[in-house]
Chain A
């Protein structure tokens, strides 16, 4: 202890810290996608939205000096990309998955193109709240430096859970997702509901991106997302379209991402490729366990093109 090392305690602490640091983008994207999919549409383009959000947040924060304006800009960019997806999908006989893939490529490509001049400059970043003030151990303090966005995300999960169950618009979204005929019979425009749901989903995914570039890892570069948006979309499926399960799944993924480096740092060096792949193995395992050819996934909105 005298040399400032905490030995094997690094691993659980890193997993905890990783769960807090790495999970936020997963959380925002999966909550956003949860809303969109509950309305009966899949937006696979959220990977592109995440990257665009990261780029625009960094750019706006750099230009205006205010990281919060960057977060807002990321959300608006995400909502616009969501509106684009919903707009194209509202045309007849358009496949939402194909549009999603196109928008994923469009979003990342556009972000790389516009983000070229932003790789070098350093933009002001979001502040952290120090929840480790009670501890003398610097490692604990570092792990508990929490960003407000993480707290908002954590609060958002139960709010969404509640809203889906008890509010009017929660019911409307679910109706559009379970039976568009029923929604239409009630006199609501399904396309409008889905447009709004996709825009909100994009808004949240954009904010998830702003966390990547403005807090952790905390700078804009082209490898920043490395597939986190897509992973988060998959996460929604194994969280069974339940916002609370999305929260736990995101935390698990964040922790799993920290496992590989943490184990190496305490000297467990064999098979680090396997530990680095932990999040993906987790996805595959859960997908295999939960899938069945005999029935659709429990909790899946009936209008989704993959379940219909």
Chain B
């Protein structure tokens, strides 16, 4: 009987594994094996958003006693609910990371209500008191790293024209564009940042066209906020422009053109979350942080970055890391239509929830949100 043989063999293998584990004395952190589910909207090796999360998941795989299950290319529809249910029911996942923006509401909230004993951690969502307590949303103030990129870009640009290839005008994207533009103006008060929206997270041909159009307009330093920055980085470098990366370090793609970049640091955050759960602590439902909290980081400077730019950028970085913090969006801020969006005298610190509703482009940005 074919079936009997296979199950007996599996039984033997399982037994051997247990004996081996006991013999080598591996002491798992967790009493029973904990399974963690990661859900990505795209491919996990896209040199971008999903790869950053997958690097975080890879950091968890190294911790003994943890099992990580992953699924890629799950659309932001009820498909993600099915994925979550199968991870829970078939793989026994007890902690889930649906990592894409559109998974949060209604999909993840619905699942968190359905499975009240399990933990759900969503990247980018806005958790509010109305949402289930076993759900949480975490995000990084990656605009801090974009601000640093802006400073470096402002010094590196000869034309004073910077380019930003963006996917959609949602608050997180606008905040990055604005931080980049404000950083650039620290370095060069006349610098402008031209933005082109491609309309979706992954549109390689549009991204390449946007990159070419920007360079045709005289832009000589580009950055982006799309899921996979590879297209922008490679096409800009081929045209002789310089780039600042996003999501992960893209310097291997264009070593000469790469100035610096805004990167996620999920490899540091996810093990922290898991340790909190193992120690019986609860993860704050609304978890945010920037450079100081090690949720975001900046890429090492490329060789084209001048000493002056390095010094200025390092000074500002030190302010972000200091106890007092640093506000990018200071009072008296005017948008690119001339309207005052932050009244003089009220600095909006990074944790200010108003900033997560951003719907404007600041002065110095060429482009419109609609």
Contacts and interface: CB of A to CB of B under 8 A. Distances in A.
B238 to A, nearest CB: 8
B160 to A, nearest CB: 8
Interface in A242-269: 257-258, 260-262, 264-267, 269
Contact of B45 (A21, A120, A257): A120
Nearest to A222: B43
A3 interface: yes
A166 interface: no
B41 to A, nearest CB: 11
Nearest to A216: B208
Interface string A265-300: 111011011001000000000000000000000000
Contacts of A143: 216
Interface string B35-67: 000000011011100000000000000000000
B199 A272 contact: yes
A142 interface: yes
Interface in A10-32: 10, 13-14, 17-18, 21-22
A150 to B, nearest CB: 15
B184 interface: no
B197 A258 contact: no
A3 B42 contact: no
Given A3-B161, A116-B45, A270-B368, A257 B205 contact: yes
A242 to B, nearest CB: 26
A274 to B, nearest CB: 10
A258 B213 contact: yes
B356 interface: no
Contact of B230 (A4, A17, A112, A219): A219
A258 B203 CA distance: 13
B73 A269 contact: no
A14 B218 contact: no
A223 interface: yes
B366 interface: yes
A221 B44 CA distance: 11
A304 B344 CA distance: 70
Contact of B218 (A5, A222, A228, A270): A5
A183 B159 CA distance: 66
A276 B206 CA distance: 8
Given A3-B161, A226-B203, A261-B196, 8 more contacts: A3-B218, A10-B213, A14-B209, A17-B212, A119-B43, A221-B230, A262-B209, A272-B199
14 contacts: A3-B160, A10-B216, A119-B46, A120-B45, A120-B47, A122-B252, A216-B205, A219-B234, A221-B46, A223-B42, A257-B206, A265-B216, A265-B217, A272-B197
Interface of B: 42-43, 45-47, 73, 159-161, 194-199, 202-210, 212-218, 220, 228, 230-231, 234-235, 238-239, 252-253, 366-368, 370
Interface of A: 3-6, 10, 13-14, 17-18, 21-22, 112, 116, 119-120, 122, 139, 142-143, 216-219, 221-224, 226, 228, 257-258, 260-262, 264-267, 269-270, 272-273, 276
